[in-house]
Amino acid sequence: MTRSEVAKHALVDDYLAGKLNTSEAAEFEQQMHTDSSFAELVEMHKFANGVVKDYGLLQVKMKLQKIHLKHEAKPAKSWAKAAAVTASVAAISISAFLLMDSEKEYVKDVPLEVAAMQSQLLTHPKQYSSTTAKASFTATKAEKASEKAAEDPSKSQVASPKRDAQAVSVEPSASAKSTSVPTEPTPDLAAASAIAPQSVAPKAVLAASSAPAESPAAAAKPSPIATPPPADNQPKADVAPQPEADRCAEVRLSVSIQPEILTPSCEDQRNGEIQLTNEQVFGGEAPYEFSLDGGQHFQTDTRFVALEGNRDYELVIRDVNGCTSDVERIYLDTRNCVASFNPIMGEQWEIPLPRNANGTFKVMSQKGMVYQARVTAGYPNTWNGNTVSGTATTGEYVWEFVFDNGRQPLRGRVSVIR
């Protein structure tokens, strides 16, 4: 790699990104005309950039699918539908996973990993002693969830009967949002169905479609009139000029809390985590600072560790100009880090993963890895005791979950009793 090579490629990148000025661009294009190998290089870069851009769009699509899943996951809705969407997300991730030829190395590494994990676990014997006799993990979890549902309305004023207990606990921000965003799906749908019987909506659509019909190019470039029926006029009227002094009034700083950023704490311990990213912050100006105690103490690190479970945290974000966000309540759950179940009785163990987690779940016995599964968007979230050599026999197993995004892996033990 010579310096001129790097510079040449950087120039191509700048040209394709539109960063060259007119005369530089003209000179660049001249060179493409006279030097066919250079033109070919530019073509290759353009193609490669196209691939990366498509990849970026696929990330956006994944986000949309996640949003869809989140909203679809209302109790009464059919499971099959949600599963179908998950499956399509999974299909993409799995195909990607299969292409990484990391499996060989991975198997080779296992014995060492087991040793390391077991020694780590043995250093905290207290943590694992008491709970082995507990009933099936799934059952305790369900009880806890219903308790929580009963508590929550009073605690954080999130009284939304339509959401299941889990959704309430993970997204305490939901009530705050529904007051601020004028078009929540439910009232919107209600409005839409109220219009439909009088067939007003189709007419409005026709009115909209007649405009693009006049010019053929308008198909891809719709006319501004083509606003959907219940038009949302509010935003534009809202932008009124503000006095300079009141600059934070213009700043709408907020954060979108995805369940997967929360790692519940093990019961009776303080090892929960909240991993924020700058990407989740919306509005204001980077760099940001974060506080979990309602704005008393701020830190620049996006990761909060050693957190107590089963309580609320008050997240506040501050941007570089000192503007702060509203308080966002985050409920951090606890998880059962030790569990036992009986696969012969058809019991399953619910793996205590953060919701929507992506990564690899592994179970190891003294002899090495006995089970491994890909987890995509939080599924599968159970282990039924199946291993590479039949149903797991009675004993203690060590499990590990390695996140795709490089987060600290989760580890614990699970006992099989049969």
Partner 1 sequence: MSRAITDKDILEAIHSGRDDRALEHLYKTLLPKITQMICSNSGGTEEANDIFQDAMLIFYRQVKEGKFDEQYEVSGFIYTICRNLWINRAKRKQRSTELTNKEFFIESDSDIELDILTEERSELVMGLLSKLGDRCKELLLCSIFYKYSMKEICQIMGFSTENAAKTRNYKCKQKLLKLIEENPSLKTILK
Q: How many residues bind partner 1 (CB under 8 A)?
A: 98
Smallest distance from the beta carbon of 195 to partner 1, in angstroms? 9
**Taking the complex as a whole, how short is the minimal distance between the CB of residue 158 and partner 1, in angstroms?**
16
* Least distance between partner 1 and beta carbon 127 (Å): 31
Q: Residue holding tokens 């000192």? A: 322
Q: Can you tell me which of 27, 109, 151, 188 binds partner 1, judged by CB under 8 A?
A: 188
Hey, which residues between 95 and 114 contact partner 1 (CB under 8 A)? 95-97, 99-100
Whats the size of the chain, residue-wise?
418
**Interaction pattern, residues 62-101, with partner 1; x per rule: CB under 8 A:** -xxx-xx--x---------x--x-------xx-xxx-xx-
Task: Show contacts with partner 1 in window 235-274 (CB under 8 A).
Answer: 235-236, 238-239, 252-254, 256, 258
Q: Residue written as tokens 């997240």?
A: 315
Crossing angle for the helix pair 22-34 and 36-72, to the nearest 10 degrees: 120
Residues 168-187 that bind partner 1 (CB under 8 A): 176-177, 179-185
| 254/387 with CB nearer partner 1 | 254
Least distance (Å) from partner 1 to the CB of residue 352?
25
For partner 1, the closer CB: 76 or 122 = 76
- Binders of partner 1 among residues 191 to 210 (CB under 8 A) are 192-193, 196, 201-202, 205-206, 208-210
Nearer to partner 1, 26 or 44 (CB): 44
368 binds partner 1 (CB under 8 A): no
Single-letter residue type at 96: A
Contact between 22 and partner 1 by CB under 8 A: the answer reads: no
User: Token pair for residue 349?
Assistant: 């163990």
Indicate the pairing of strand 334-335 with strand 265-266.
parallel
User: Does position 45 bind partner 1 by CB under 8 A?
Assistant: yes
**Segment contacting partner 1 (CB under 8 A): 134-142, 164-172, 216-224, 407-415?**
216-224
Binding mask 300-329 for partner 1 (x = CB under 8 A): -------------------------xx---
Residue type at position 76: A
Among 34, 52, 76, 78, binds partner 1 (CB under 8 A): 52
- Shortest distance (Å) from residue 140 CB to partner 1: 32
Residues of span 275-294 touching partner 1 by CB under 8 A = 278-283, 286-287
Give the binding range for partner 1 (CB under 8 A) out of 138-146, 233-241, 267-275, 393-401: 233-241
**Cβ nearer to partner 1, comparing 48 with 142:** 48
Q: Is 61 in the site for partner 1 (CB under 8 A)?
A: yes
Tell the smallest beta-carbon distance from residue 315 to partner 1 (Å). 14
CB-CB contact of 289 with 247 (8 Å): no
